[in-house]
């Protein structure tokens, strides 16, 4: 049986627009379609882990609005434990405005809303009863104090903590020692080491440098897969061949949630990265974030199909 996955993080209502190209300043363009669904890095990662059969608990802050109620209902429908989601009176829930282009690329603007109300005290109290063996995950769409408390509380309790430093925010380097692993993409890795990370060789060098700070490291590289490094080994995982990319929104969250689920089930970091890359590549073939995430059966079929190509 898998240990629990505990996600400390954000939730946003996603407003998705499909259009040919972003408007120039002063220009109005007509979009093809509009969709709205639950999103946010923390909630996305919670759904990704739950889809694979993990027992998932979500620690977050929502507004007391219709969007918050809708997101809460959506998470419960996925079987996620939401009893430690705070509802903040008078606050608006987080929102993300996502533009998706024909090549599958996107641009996203986030209004953090209630996510900024996730307090250090609530995180500390919520992690008090987490059992040894659980995997804790935190991202950077919540206040830095909440991120730091997640790392510190996990360390005190002897819990493995995955830090997805996305989007990049400066954080006390001493706390990165508790990240197992630190997960960043090329842009975030570049910000951490103050030099460009853009291919497998530069990702390897960055992972080795960051491995002197964090306990273990994963650098995701989109279609180029991911590079990982722990205390004993390191390696590159290639992404499987896929058809057309429909929407890359939330692919990184699919990776992190799947990685956490695999680690909680006793998998090695290399195995968790392999499954995470497969989940991310599966998700980009479908529109949206949470709606695109695979079940365990989906992931097995996807990996087999990719190997057969």
- Asked if 199 is an active-site residue, the reply is no
Question: How far is 3 from 177, CA to CA, in rounded Å?
Answer: 23
> Which two tokens mark 269?
């970091």
Instruction: Calculate the alpha carbon distances from 99 to 12, 18, 26, 280 in Å.
Output: 15, 6, 17, 19
Question: In whole angstroms, how large is the CA radius of gyration of the chain?
Answer: 18
Give the other-Cβ count within 10 Å of 5's Cβ. 29
Six-digit token string for 130 = 């987490």
> Cα 270–186–250 angle (5° rounding)?
75
**Could you tell me if 38 and 290 are in contact, meaning their C-beta atoms sit under 8 angstroms apart?**
yes
Residue keyed to tokens 């290639």: 238
Smallest CA-to-CA distance from 58 within 1, 114, 126 is with 126
Query: What gap in Å lies between CA 33 and CA 257, rounded to an integer?
Result: 28
Residue matched to tokens 């061949």: 241
Considering the candidates 230, 253, 298, 308, report the single residue annotated as catalytic: 253
The alpha-helical segments, DSSP class H, found in the chain are 41-51, 66-77, 120-126, 144-157, 186-193, 200-210, 251-264, 269-283, 296-308
Q: Residue 255: which of 241, 239, 236, 242 has the closest Cα?
A: 239
- Just list the catalytic residues: 253
């Amino acid at each position: 049986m898998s240990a629990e996955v505990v996600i400390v993080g954000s939730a946003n209502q996603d407003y998705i627009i499909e259009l040919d190209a972003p408007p120039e300043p002063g220009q109005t363009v007509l979009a093809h379609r509009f969709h709205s669904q639950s999103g946010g890095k923390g909630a996305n990662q919670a759904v990704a882990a739950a889809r694979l059969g993990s027992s998932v608990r979500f620690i977050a802050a929502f507004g007391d609005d219709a969007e918050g109620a809708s997101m809460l209902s959506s998470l419960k429908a996925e079987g996620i434990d939401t009893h430690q989601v705070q509802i903040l009176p008078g606050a608006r829930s987080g929102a993300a405005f996502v533009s998706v282009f024909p090549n599958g690329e996107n641009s996203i603007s986030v209004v953090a809303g209630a996510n900024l109300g996730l307090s250090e005290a609530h995180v500390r109290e919520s992690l008090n009863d987490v059992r040894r063996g659980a995997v804790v995950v935190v991202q950077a769409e919540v206040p830095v104090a909440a991120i730091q408390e997640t790392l510190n509380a996990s360390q005190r309790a002897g819990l493995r903590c995955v830090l997805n430093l996305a989007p990049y925010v400066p954080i006390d380097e001493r706390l990165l020692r508790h990240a197992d692993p630190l997960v960043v993409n090329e842009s975030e890795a570049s910000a951490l080491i103050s030099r460009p990370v853009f291919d497998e060789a530069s990702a390897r060098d960055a992972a080795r440098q960051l491995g002197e700070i964090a306990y273990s490291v994963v650098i995701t590289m989109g279609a180029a897969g991911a590079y990982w490094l722990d205390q004993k080994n390191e390696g590159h995982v290639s992404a499987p061949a896929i058809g057309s990319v429909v929407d890359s929104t939330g692919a990184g969250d699919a990776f992190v949630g799947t990685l956490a689920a695999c680690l909680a089930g006793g998998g090695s970091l290399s195995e968790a990265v392999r499954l995470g890359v497969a989940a991310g590549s599966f998700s980009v073939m479908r529109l949206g974030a949470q709606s695109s995430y695979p079940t365990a059966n989906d992931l097995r079929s996807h990996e087999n199909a990719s190997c057969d190509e």
